Amino acid sequence: MSGDGYDRILLPTDGSEATLAAVEEAGRVAALSDATVYVLSVADTRNRFESPTAGLAADAWEQAEHERAEAAIDAAVDALPDDVPTERAIREGIPKTEVLAAVEEADADLVVMGTHGRTGLDHYLIGSVTERVVRNSPVPVLTVRAEE
C-alpha cells in the first residue's frame, strides 16, 4: 500500500445491478489513490448440472459463461473513469474461491464488492460470495450496497 492510499483494487463483477454500485465506488477510490483496478469475473463452472440450462452441452455452457463474464468485465470497465488504469481477468471455477485466489494473484490491497439486503437467489449469487470473501480475505474488503 502506498503512503496515501491503495495501489491495486480487485473489483469482482458478475454484471448484475448489485455490482454497478461497487464499480462506481471502486472508480472513486482508485481515482483518489492513483490505483489500478483489477476487474475480475468468474465463469462459474459448476452450475451447468443444477440449472435450467442443465441440458446444455458442457462446452456450450462454458462458452455462455465466458461470454457473460466478458460482458460483465466490459460493462465495469466502461463505467470506470477513463483515467483509471484497469486490468481484466476471467477465472473459471466457484466464484467465492476464485475471488479469494485472485486477491493474491492480483496482489490486491483492497477488494470492492457489491452487496444488498435481499435474500434468496440474489443472496446466493452476490451475498454468499461477498460474505465468504469478507470473512476470508487477507486484505480489507469494501462492500457497497446496491440501490434497491
Q: What is the pLDDT of residue 2?
A: 47
> What percentage of the chain exceeds 70 in pLDDT?
82
Query: Residue 20 pLDDT more than 90?
Result: no
Whether pLDDT at 112 is above 60: yes
Instruction: For residue 74, count other CB atoms closer than 10 A to its CB.
Output: 15
What's the pTM? 0.85
DSSP bridge pairs for 8: 36
pLDDT at 31 over 90: yes
Mean of the pLDDT values across residues 126-147?
A: 86
SS3 breakdown of the chain: % helix, strand, coil, rounded to 5? 45, 20, 30
pLDDT digit string, tens, across residues 89-105:
999 999 889 999 999 99
Over residues 24-32, mean pLDDT: 96
Q: Edge-to-edge, what's the strand order for the sheet holding 110-115?
A: 86-93, 36-44, 8-12, 110-115, 141-145
Domains, the chain, ranges and CATH? 8-145 (3.40.50.620)
